[in-house]
Amino acid sequence: MEDLFSIRHSSLEIYHPPMAATHDIVIPQTFTFGEGEPFVLESGATLGPVTLAYETYGRLNADRSNAILIAHALSGSAHAAGYHAADDARPGWWDECIGPGKAFDTDRYFIICSNVLGSCYGSSGPGSINPATGRQYGLGFPVVTIGDMVRAQVRLVDYLGIDRLLCVAGGSMGGMQVLEWAARHPHRLRAAIPLATTARHSPMLIALSEVGRQAIYADPAWNEGNYYGNGKKPDAGLALARMVGHITYLSDESMQQKFGRRLQAREQYGYEFQTEFAVESYLKYNGNNFTRRFDANSYLYVTKAMDYFDLSQPTGSFAAAFAGSAAIKFLVVSFTSDWLYPSYHSKELVRALHAVGADATYLDIESTWGHDAFLLEVDTMTRLLESFLDRLADEESVAIP
């Protein structure tokens, strides 16, 4: 593999802190390719070198048959579980499902999670340095697709010496990556778990994405994407985009339960244009907090990739997209209160899978949590994922490492 790609790579080992530590300390890793021959994107543009940030949990077994790739959602990162330091306040974004004895049991499986191309958590994106100029790419970074993100992940999996993944799993945009793996690289995985996702964005979803992008464009500090090093970022626009997005992750019922019409830090209306309701305060907090950890240009690139995603193209048929996927076992999950990716998206997907003879199990889970249910319904998801993976591992005779 060294002959095929130019690679910089740090250790695969996870450091286990001694004695009283209760959590594994995870070492972030990077993988770089495309230094000699640039990576060709779906648009025809080229990019090189390309770096992916990633983390691993657990150990590969002897025949490398126990690897599971976790794909993250829009604002996620490679840090899916564990801690980077003993004093970290919070673990990785899916820590409740990844670890010893959890749904993705690291005593049994080797878990990989990489930050997607175009993001801002260590992988190549608009905030990365363009080697040709010595400055951040900004909008000079080429537009990427879900397909580009997945082909970069294929390069990473190749480097790790894994011919075939036991499973690829993820929710929301992560689910799109799962479907891309299954449709375009079916010989590289045994099973797929797309959660709360879609095989293509509807007009409403594209519209919601565009509102978020327009909020960023309208912020004077955005400056056509040239804000790096200026001392001022388009935080107002990015915060507003996140507020709009955050509404879509919830549901009417969950917002009623969580906030109702309660006032925040006051007992009566102020009859003024200030933050008065608890739900207003919640959105404002989450929007502002998001600007501390995410890049506005990356938000543009990743949401655009989601809008471009459409597995029915070029044939016009989802079934045609999965024609080579009949050997893959699917667990498709939707949630009854998810209005961002309503259940009909998953049902349409399952019909296509059944049409090609794929082994597809579908569950529409009753939940009030909306789109975020795949992260919040921990007990339900643990039972479901554990059962599916146990059956899969037994059928595939996967050895414990």
Instruction: Tell me whether residue 79 is one of the annotated catalytic residues.
Output: no
Whether 366 contacts 380, CB under 8 Å: no
Dihedral angle computed from the Cα positions of residues 274, 277, 279 and 281, in that order, rounded to the nearest 10 degrees: 40
SS (H, E, C) 322-390: CCCCCCCEEEEEEECCCCCCCHHHHHHHHHHHHHCCCEEEEEEECCCCHHHHHHHCHHHHHHHHHHHHH
136: enclosing H helix or E strand: strand 135-136
Two tokens, residue 338: 């998810």
Choosing from 172, 251, 325, 367, the catalytic residue is 172
CA distance linking residue 168 with residue 111, whole number of Å: 10
Angle between helices 235-249 and 203-217 (to 10 degrees): 160
Identify the three-state secondary structure at position 31.
strand
Give the length of the chain.
401
Choosing from 235, 338, 346, 372, the catalytic residue is 338
β-bridge pairing 191-195 and 98-99: unpaired
* Backbone φ, ψ for residue 277 (5° rounding): -85, 150
Q: How far is CA 149 from its chain centroid? A: 10
Q: How far is CA 190 from its chain centroid? A: 20
Two tokens, residue 49: 């070198």
Burial 375-399 (b: 16+ CB within 10 A, else e): bbbeebbbebbbebbeebbeebebe
* Closest to 296 in 3D by CA, of 234, 353, 243, 347: 234
Name the one residue in this structure whose structure tokens are 């994405």: 209
Instruction: Tell me whether residue 172 is one of the annotated catalytic residues.
Output: yes
CA distance linking residue 394 with residue 231, whole number of Å: 55
* Closest to 112 in 3D by CA, of 164, 62, 71: 71
Q: Which residues are catalytic?
A: 172, 338, 371
